[in-house]
Structure 1
Amino acid sequence: MFNALSQQPVDKIMQLMHMFREDPREDKIDLGVGVYKNAEGVTPVMRAVKAAEKTLWQEQDTKAYVGLAGDPAFADAMASLVLGDAVPRDRVAAVATPGGTGAVRQAFELMLMANPGVRVFVSDPTWPNHIGILNYLGIEIVTYRYFDGETGAVDFAGMMEDLRQLRAGDVVLLHGCCHNPTGANLTLPEWRQVIERLNATGAVPMIDIAYQGFGDGLDADAAPTRLVAEFCPETLIAASCSKNFGVYRERTGILMAVAHEPAPKALAQENLTSLNRMNYSFPPDHGARVVTMILTDDALRADWMAELEDTRLGMLRLREALAGELQKLSGSDRFGFLAQHRGMFSLLGTTPDLVERLRAEHGIYMIGDSRMNIAGLNDRTVPILARAILAVGI
């Protein structure tokens, strides 16, 4: 049987991580892996997470399964965090999932259950795993223009032109904030135009929100998702706690289905719960319980929000420092878009050949499409990166 298996494509990020580890240069810089790191290159455990885990260790008296959909308190806490008061809680079906990736996978599975011929419109570019999972499930992908490599901003005119192809029953995959890999985001007026297009065509939005709190703040980052959920008849939302709570290895995520009528909401809940049962039965609980404890305790929540804000401002400061250093060295403001992007990532908009030169000549590692993780920088390495970018001719 095993001999009949096909060779799988190499994961580019995993390959890059291996190359970085094997590189003997002491001044090498890792801007590839999509994990937050502080100035010391460490992905820290947040203070509120440590405090909640200590309490949990002392007080938890069972490791029995939770429900198939996960702990209802986790769903309540996450619905409040992501949606605020945009829609009533009783219009939100929800299941806990193994991370944001699990939520994305369950959302795609739900689409197939509802419509085996579904088409999913995906931004060009997008997080590669979106494409990988869709291809694996055999779902038709339609790309829409998103990033303007010349300006480093969203190609909104191109995006809206491509969304003219939408038909009833199609799904449009959107990034709630901190677009991965580009860092370029729609404005709220642009989001309203997207909503109008969705509602005019009968297409359904799916929002992947993995970086809430990393861009302009918790509420500002959630504002587009709340707008879509409020004004579209149905919305799918895949949310991750990996980044904003730093619980990467706990695999903590949630999939929410918003419906403005009771009957479709109940059907969505029934089917989401069934999908959990078929794929992994009961979702992991440790990370979800820690997140719930933080969000429902005033002191823990305040400390978490303060640390998250420090993280956000630190990444924004690095963006501004890099854009400023490039302007100083080049005498041009053509890299100013780096300060306008939000979240961990920015797309330089250059060629794989020049990205390879950055690695070979300067020990700077980033994904071949020129996505770089801003959180991989610090005050010492910002000038080094700026000089290298200009040295290779980007």
Structure 2
Amino acid sequence: MLEHLKDQPADKILSLAAAYKADPREQKIDLGVGVYKNAKGVTPVMRAVKEAEARILAEQQTKAYTGLAGDPAFADAMVDLVLGGTVERDRIAALATPGGTGACRQGFELARLAKPDVRVWHSAPTWPNHLSILKFMGVEAKPYRYFDEETALVDFEGMMEYLQGVAQGDVVLLHGCCHNPTGANLTSEQIDRVTALLTEKGAMPMIDIAYQGFGDGLEADAAATRAIASRVPECLIAASCSKNFGIYRERTGLLMAISAEAGQTKTTQDNMNFLNRQTYSFPPDHGARVVATILNDPELRADWEAELEEVRTGMLALREQLAAELARLTNTDRYAFIARHRGMFSRLGVSPEMVERLREDHAIYMVGDSRMNIAGLNAETVPVLARAIVEAEKAG
């Protein structure tokens, strides 16, 4: 039977990482894989994570299963972190998942369980795994205009025009902050208009918030999610702990489903538990327990927030440095958007051919659509990248 299997297309980002690793050039820069790295090129274990793990190791008495929905302390802590009390807790069902990817998958599954012919609208572009999962599930995916390649900012009027086609019962996928792959975010006024439109259309927003704390701070990064979730009758939220807690390999995420009325929450929760049971039974617990330990301990939480702020401001400094260096070299402000974008990613808005020249001539690796991971830079490599961009432009 297995001989009937077909080769699957290679993952472009993972293939890029393999090519970078095989490149023998010493002065090479990896801006491809979306993982945070410090100035030394290391993804560090955060101080609060180390301390929480030490406490868990010393105190934990069992490795028995958690419930199907995971540890309630983790769910409560994450609901508070993301929503901050803006939605009544008795309207929120929550499900621990293997990472934010698992939360997205279970969110799509829940929507399909509720409406087998559900359509999911997504920004163009969006995180490639969104589209890959929807395609594999056989769920219809509808793009809406989002990014203006000329200005490298949100094409909001184009977005609103596309969303006029949304129908009742559709799901509209939004990024909570630090849009991946563009780094371009909606303003609070634009969020208000999108929320009003979705409410009018009877569509349900699904928010993927994977980078809370990486943009403008924990509270500011949650503002869009809170504004939407508090104003619509129903909402799905997929939250990831991989980035802001630095626990990528622990696969820690949470799916939240907000029902219109508290009386619906139990049925929603039962269906979410059912999905976990059918997929992998009980969710992983270690990362979730680490997160709950940190968020429920004032001292650990304060240290985590301080280190996360260092990460955030460090990336902002790199953005400002790169924008300033490109302005100096080009004598224009056409790359000023880099400083305005937020999170780990920005799209340069250059051609795939120029991306290839950067790789071949300068050993600079970024995704073919010109998405670059700002966290792959440091103060020494920013001028190198800026010069390479200018030289590649001239060569083109």
TM > 0.5: yes
1:172 and 2:172 correspond: yes
Q: Find the residue that maps to 2:230 and give its secondary structure.
A: helix
CA distance in 2, matches of 1:225, 1:162: 21
Task: Report the identity percentage.
Answer: 65
2:233 corresponds in structure 1 to: 233
CA distance in 1, matches of 2:162, 2:282: 39
2:278 corresponds in structure 1 to: 278
Q: Deviations over 1:16-37 (max 9, x none)?
A: 0110010000000000000000
1:291 corresponds in structure 2 to: 291
CA distance in 1, matches of 2:265, 2:120: 21
1:84 corresponds in structure 2 to: 84
Q: Find the residue that maps to 1:165 and give its secondary structure.
A: coil
Q: Find the residue that maps to 1:20 and give its secondary structure.
A: helix
CA distance in 2, matches of 1:297, 1:329: 48
Q: Find the residue that maps to 2:164 and give its secondary structure.
A: helix
Q: Which moved more, 1:345-354 or 1:125-134?
A: 345-354
Counterpart of 2:75 in structure 1: which amino acid?
A: A
CA distance in 2, matches of 1:385, 1:15: 21
Q: What's the offset of the Cα at 1:263?
A: 2.8
Counterpart of 1:327 in structure 2: which amino acid?
A: A
Are the aligned partners of 2:91 and 2:264 in contact in 1 as well (CA < 8 Å)?
Answer: no
Q: Deviations over 1:40-87 (max 9, x none)?
A: 000000000000000111110110000000001100000000000111
1:348 corresponds in structure 2 to: 348
1:303 corresponds in structure 2 to: 303
Counterpart of 1:188 in structure 2: which amino acid?
A: S
Question: Unaligned stretches of 5+ in structure 1?
Answer: none
Q: What's the offset of the Cα at 1:264?
A: 2.4
2:67 corresponds in structure 1 to: 67
1:18 corresponds in structure 2 to: 18
Q: What's the offset of the Cα at 1:246?
A: 0.2
2:372 corresponds in structure 1 to: 372
Q: What's the offset of the Cα at 1:7?
A: 1.3
Are the aligned partners of 2:251 and 2:287 in contact in 1 as well (CA < 8 Å)?
Answer: yes
Counterpart of 1:77 in structure 2: which amino acid?
A: A
CA distance in 1, matches of 2:26, 2:123: 37
1:185 corresponds in structure 2 to: 185
CA distance in 2, matches of 1:273, 1:188: 34
Counterpart of 2:136 in structure 1: which amino acid?
A: Y
2:318 corresponds in structure 1 to: 318
CA distance in 2, matches of 1:225, 1:40: 33
CA distance in 2, matches of 1:265, 1:371: 39
Q: Find the residue that maps to 2:70 and give its secondary structure.
A: coil
Q: Find the residue that maps to 2:346 and give its secondary structure.
A: strand
2:127 corresponds in structure 1 to: 127
Q: What's the offset of the Cα at 1:123?
A: 0.3
CA distance in 1, matches of 2:80, 2:140: 33
Q: Find the residue that maps to 1:320 and give its secondary structure.
A: helix
Matches within 5 A, 1:83-232: 83-232=83-232
Q: What's the offset of the Cα at 1:112?
A: 1.0
Q: Which moved more, 1:261-270 or 1:303-312?
A: 261-270
CA distance in 1, matches of 2:267, 2:390: 55
Q: Deviations over 1:199-250 (max 9, x none)?
A: 0000000000000000000000000000111000000000000000000000
Q: Deviations over 1:350-391 (max 9, x none)?
A: 111110110000000000000000000001100000011111
What is the TM-score of this pair, normalised by structure 1? Answer: 0.99
What is the TM-score of this pair, normalised by structure 2? Answer: 0.99
1:383 and 2:392 correspond: no
RMSD (Å) for aligned C-alpha atoms = 0.7
Q: What's the offset of the Cα at 1:268?
A: 1.2
1:263 corresponds in structure 2 to: 263
Are the aligned partners of 2:204 and 2:234 in contact in 1 as well (CA < 8 Å)?
Answer: yes
Q: Find the residue that maps to 1:343 and give its secondary structure.
A: coil
Q: What's the offset of the Cα at 1:157?
A: 0.5
Question: Unaligned stretches of 5+ in structure 2?
Answer: none
Q: Deviations over 1:64-113 (max 9, x none)?
A: 00000000110000000000011111111001000000000001111111
Counterpart of 1:24 in structure 2: which amino acid?
A: P
CA distance in 2, matches of 1:357, 1:263: 58
Counterpart of 2:180 in structure 1: which amino acid?
A: N
Q: What's the offset of the Cα at 1:137?
A: 0.3
CA distance in 1, matches of 2:260, 2:289: 28
CA distance in 2, matches of 1:142, 1:169: 14
Runs of 4+ in 1 over 3 A off after TM superposition: none
Are the aligned partners of 2:67 and 2:282 in contact in 1 as well (CA < 8 Å)?
Answer: yes
1:359 and 2:362 correspond: no
2:328 corresponds in structure 1 to: 328
Counterpart of 2:144 in structure 1: which amino acid?
A: Y
Q: Find the residue that maps to 1:392 and give its secondary structure.
A: helix
Q: What's the offset of the Cα at 1:260?
A: 3.1
CA distance in 1, matches of 2:2, 2:203: 41
CA distance in 2, matches of 1:281, 1:60: 22
